[in-house]
C-alpha cells in the first residue's frame, strides 16, 4: 500500500482522491436502491454521527471516519434477499440469521479497497452492544471501537424514526426515550447521553425524515413519507413510491415542493433510481476539504 500513500502525497486534493472516495460511497447506494424503506438512511446516519462526533470534540480525522462509516455501515445488506428486507411479518430464525450476517458481508465487500480499513469498524461492528449481547462477535464495552458505538446509536435511532416493513415511524421523543432506557446495555453511556442531549435540543430535527440537507422525504398518499427527492430533481420530474409503486409528478408552488399522483403504477422492475451522484460528490468534496486526507490514507495503509 505504500504506492497509494506516495501517489496521493503529491496532490492530496486531486481528482484521483475524489474518485477513490466516490467509489467507496457509491458502493453504499446499492443498499439504498435495494431496500425501499431506507431512503436517505445512509445520509441521516452519517449526519447524526458527524454531529455527535463534533459535539464530542473528536479530531477531524475521527469525525471523518464516523461520517464515512455512517454512509457505509449497511453495505453488507446488498447480499440480503429482497424478500427478507421487505418482509412485513416476523422473521424466522433462519431469516434473522441472514440479517445478522450483513456486517461480515460488508467486510467481504470492502476487502481489497484502499480505503476499506478506515470504515471497517463501522461496517463490521455497528450491531455490537456494550453488554456483549450484540452480533456478529458479541464484543462488549471497551472492545468496541468508538466509531462503531456511535454508529450503533445513530442507526437504531434512525430505524425507530423511519418507516419500516413491520411498523410506522415512531415520534422523536419516543425514540429518545428508548435510547435513554438502553444506555449501558445496548448503547454506550457517554456517547448515548451526548446523542440524547442533541436530540432533545432539536439538533437533529433537520435530519430526521430527510434525505439531504433541506430536503424532506415526500409523502405517498398510501404509504407515508417514503418518496425520495434528489436536490437536482426539477418540477415535472416523475417520481414513485418504492412500496406501492404509484407514480407522482413533482410540482413546485411558490417555494414549496409537493407531489401530484399521476394514477400510473410502474412495474417493480423499474422502481429503482440511480444513485444520487450529486449528493455523493458533494459529501466527498466537503469531506476532503475539511479532513486530513493524508492522515486517513496513512491510517488505511498502516492498518493492513
Catalytic site positions: 77
* Residue 84, all three cell numbers: 427478507
17, 287 contact by CB (below 8 A): no
Residue with cell 444513485: 275
Residue with cell 453488554: 131
In 3D space, the residue among 279, 288, 217 whose CA is nearest the CA of residue 248 turns out to be 217
Residue with cell 407531489: 259
Full DSSP string of 88-146? -SPPPHHHHHHHHTHHHHHHHHHTT-TTHHHHHHHHHHTT--TTS--SSS---GGGS-H
* Residue 180, all three cell numbers: 435513554
Task: Name every residue whose Cβ is closer than 8 Å to that of residue 172 and which is 6 or more positions away in sequence.
Answer: 161, 199, 204, 205, 208
Amino acid at each position: 500500500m505504500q504506492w497509494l500513500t506516495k501517489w496521493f502525497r503529491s496532490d492530496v486534493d486531486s481528482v484521483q482522491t475524489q474518485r477513490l472516495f466516490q467509489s467507496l460511497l457509491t458502493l453504499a447506494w446499492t443498499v439504498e436502491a435495494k431496500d425501499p424503506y431506507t431512503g436517505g438512511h445512509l445520509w441521516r446516519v452519517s449526519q447524526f454521527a458527524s454531529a455527535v462526533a463534533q459535539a464530542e470534540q473528536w479530531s477531524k480525522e475521527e469525525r471523518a471516519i464516523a461520517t464515512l462509516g455512517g454512509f457505509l455501515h449497511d453495505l453488507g445488506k446488498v447480499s440480503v434477499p429482497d424478500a427478507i428486507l421487505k418482509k412485513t411479518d416476523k422473521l424466522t430464525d433462519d431469516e434473522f440469521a441472514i440479517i445478522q450476517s450483513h456486517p461480515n458481508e460488508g467486510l467481504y465487500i470492502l476487502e481489497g479497497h484502499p480505503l476499506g480499513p478506515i470504515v471497517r469498524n463501522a461496517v463490521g461492528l455497528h450491531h455490537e452492544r456494550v453488554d456483549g449481547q450484540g452480533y456478529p462477535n458479541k464484543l462488549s464495552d471497551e472492545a468496541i471501537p468508538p466509531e462503531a458505538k456511535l454508529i450503533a446509536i445513530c442507526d437504531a435511532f434512525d430505524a425507530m424514526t423511519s418507516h419500516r416493513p413491520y411498523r410506522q415511524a415512531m415520534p422523536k421523543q419516543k425514540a429518545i426515550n428508548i435510547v435513554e432506557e438502553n444506555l449501558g446495555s445496548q448503547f454506550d453511556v457517554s456517547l448515548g447521553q451526548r446523542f440524547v442531549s442533541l436530540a432533545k435540543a432539536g439538533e437533529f430535527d433537520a435530519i430526521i425524515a430527510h434525505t439531504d440537507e433541506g430536503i424532506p422525504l415526500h409523502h405517498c398518499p398510501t404509504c407515508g413519507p417514503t418518496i425520495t427527492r434528489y436536490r437536482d430533481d426539477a418540477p415535472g420530474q416523475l417520481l414513485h413510491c418504492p412500496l406501492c409503486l404509484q407514480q407522482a409528478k413533482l410540482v413546485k408552488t411558490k417555494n414549496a415542493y409537493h407531489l401530484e399522483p399521476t394514477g400510473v403504477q410502474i412495474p417493480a422492475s423499474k422502481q429503482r433510481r440511480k444513485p444520487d451522484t450529486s449528493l455523493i460528490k458533494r459529501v466527498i468534496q466537503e469531506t476532503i476539504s475539511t479532513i486530513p486526507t493524508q492522515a486517513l490514507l496513512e491510517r488505511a495503509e498502516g492498518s493492513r
